[in-house]
Amino acid sequence: MVRFDDSIQKRLAIAGVIVIIAFGVLLGRLWTLQIIAGEKYFEMAESNRVRTVSISASRGVIYDRNGEILVNNRPSLVVTVIPSELKNKDVLLRLSELLDMVPNEIEEKLEDKKVDPLKPRTIKYDINEDTAVYIKEHSADFLGVEVKVEPVRNYSTSTVAAHVLGYLGEISEDEFEKMKDKDYKLGDLIGKSGTEKQYEEILCGVRGFQQLEVDASGKVIRILDENESVAGNNLQLTIDNNLQLATEKSLQEAIKAANKEGYKDANAGAALVMNPNTGEILAMASYPTFDPSLFTGGISSKQWAGLNDETSGFPLLNRTMMCSYAPGSVFKPITYLAGLMEGVISYNSTFNCTGKWTGMGESWARYCWKRSGHGQMNLSSGLSNSCDVVFYEIGYKLYKEKGEKLQKWAREFNLGSKTGIDLPSETKGRVPDKAWKKKFNENYPEYQAWMPGDTVNLAIGQGDLLTSPLQIASVYSAIANGGTVWKPHLGKNVLTAEGEEIHEFKKEKVLDIPVPKTIIEKLQKDLRRVIVDGTAKNAFAGFPIKVAGKTGTSQVKSKDDFAWFACYAPLDKPQYVVVVLIEQGGHGGSIAAPAARRILAAVHDIPSTGPVTVLDRSR
């Protein structure tokens, strides 16, 4: 072996050290990646290759009480687009032309940033078959675009019971946050109002999933795991579809009639039918209404704005329970009972109505709706004729002798509180009192004091008192059944997808009103008088069923009067409470009472529906 000079040997040795260092670095890095961070990368590798695809569950069917379908599902041909793949403007333009959509409209639907960019978005529902075939045949021109069949809500009778059923919409970020523990994903459809929202958990079902192994291009290699979706449970409502139809029709006719009578601003109203013995809602109508199928496939922002615009009359509001109004004279039975129960009057007390009441002094004079005066009145004729003077007197006495007892009795009927109906966004109305008035006028010290006139106003259902038509139905149910307030409800049964009943909604008592039977019976008798010879006499002329009820005409500043009517039938064994309210519809006796009559006629299959309006200027 040739010996080189030492320097070469030394340099070779240094080279050896360099090699050792180089491999040391590589080995160290390998250790870091595989041993220290191995788990992290393993998870990344898993998420690389495993895709979980969720399979949405089919939503439960909603039936009426007789098993008629109110909402079910139908297949719809839809076009979906994967946002990340629709960068190509040409495809977007071709698609917008084919689907007759503005490109902006498509982009709007794709915009949702929070949802997985790989998740296909549905941009149009219910495309026709030719379009579907065209897209499939020209799939190369429509990369990222797919045609699928998706189940959508099917409303068997368009707008019927729209407010009761509610509509579906994409889950919002807020809702998503709130329901974190539940199995929702952004982009899912959930109930946004009505029963669909209230019973979301019953209806939604359990989504299924498929765990797929995919390659780098997203192509499915095999199914690793699969869990089938479970359809949502079906829901049976207490609504009777036929009665619902009749109620909606009567409500609309009443509004039309009011318009004809000269009440040009009458364009909204509410009507409902309830079983006074159980709280079951048999029909619930609100006008104006909307078509829930508008929401199928996501409502456009333009349509949404339309539904929330003042000129449309806010059709999404369920006026039976989301809005509250001055009840006017339909409140008088409570004043009646309060007066008797508190002992400020007796059943035989007499009143003299001259059309003007000066109980608080001449300068605070109040007038009866009947300016010419009712003459000699007692409690019974006062109620049947809805004589304001009688109730001014009771209210004033209650104020002077008992303070806030009238409010107490209003609350005994659960006014000022939610009825607890199984629908979202219920109003609780308002029973005004001293404390409320002070707080309400916080910034106006001169209006803070509770005046005797406030109680006097309250006694005839005016002033600051607010009630929803549903609350009034609940009050009249209690009167009809002898004193129990039942929780109004729409849910009747929960059924499995196969039709097996798994839950029955039982009636729930809210409270018993502490009024002796004898006193309620007096009130019931006098409410019957309203129909027989009182303010609703003309409306119910010739009606074969015995009805008891009360008209109401409430005054709202700078608006036409609101027409109310609340009643129950049959008299001896009440099965139905009907409440009708027409905003700015004029007189309760002439507009609302005939509508209630037609609803009761439908209940009892009475062909002659009676007059649409009667001449009745009473309140």
DSSP state of 607: S
Q: Does 53 bind another protein (CB under 8 A)?
A: no
Question: Which is closer to another protein, CB of 46 or CB of 498?
Answer: 46
Considering only 22, 55, 305, 449, the residue that binds another protein (CB under 8 A) is 22
Residue 52 in contact with another protein, rule: CB under 8 A = no
Phi (first) and psi of residue 549, to 5 degrees? -170, -170
In the complex, minimum distance from the CB of residue 314 to another protein, in angstroms, rounded to a whole number: 47
Nearest 5°: CA angle at 542, between 541 and 544? 125
Binding status of residue 364 toward another protein by CB under 8 A: no
Q: Which two tokens stand for residue 3?
A: 């010996």
87 binds another protein (CB under 8 A): no
Select from 24-32, 194-202, 240-248, 294-302 the region that touches another protein (CB under 8 A).
24-32
Out of 45, 305, 449, 615, the only residue in the binding site for another protein (CB under 8 A) is: 45
CB of 29 to another protein, least distance (A): 5
Nearer to another protein, 8 or 449 (CB): 8
Binding span for another protein by CB under 8 A among 45-53, 342-350, 353-361, 549-557:
45-53
Residue 470: Cβ-neighbour burial (10 angstroms; 0-12, 13-18, 19+):
buried
User: 329 has which bridge partners?
Assistant: none
Dist. CA 552–CA 549, nearest whole Å = 10
Among 19, 118, 143, 615, binds another protein (CB under 8 A): 19
By CB under 8 A, tell whether 35 contacts another protein: yes
Distance between CA 207 and CA 184 in Å, rounded?
A: 9
- In the DSSP assignment, the letter for residue 284 is E
Among 49, 411, 507, 525, contact with another protein (rule: CB under 8 A): 49
Q: Does 29 bind another protein (CB under 8 A)?
A: yes
Q: Which is nearer to another protein, 223 or 435 (CB)?
A: 223
- Binding-site size, another protein (CB under 8 A): 43
Q: Is 237 helix (H, G, I), strand (E, B) or coil?
A: strand
Residue 215 binds another protein, judged by CB under 8 A: yes
CB of 46 to another protein, least distance (A): 8
Least separation in angstroms between residue 23's CB and another protein is: 5
* Identity of the residue numbered 217: S
Q: With binding defined as CB under 8 A, does residue 217 bind another protein? A: yes
For the chain, the first-to-last Cα distance in angstroms comes to 129
Helix (H) / strand (E) element for 554: namely strand 548-554
- The set of residues, in sequence order, having a beta carbon less than 8 Å from that of 127 and lying 6+ positions away, is 77, 78, 79, 99, 147
Question: Does the protein bind another protein through residue 451 (CB under 8 A)?
Answer: no
Which regions of 56-95 does DSSP assign to beta strands (E)? 62-63, 69-81
Sign of torsion, CA 125 127 133 134? Answer: negative
Q: Are 381 and 530 in contact (CB under 8 A)?
A: no
What's the closest the beta carbon of residue 225 comes to another protein, in angstroms?
A: 15
- Interface residue list for another protein (CB under 8 A): 1-2, 4-5, 7-9, 11-12, 14-16, 18-20, 22-23, 25-27, 29-31, 33-35, 37-42, 44-46, 48-49, 213-217, 221
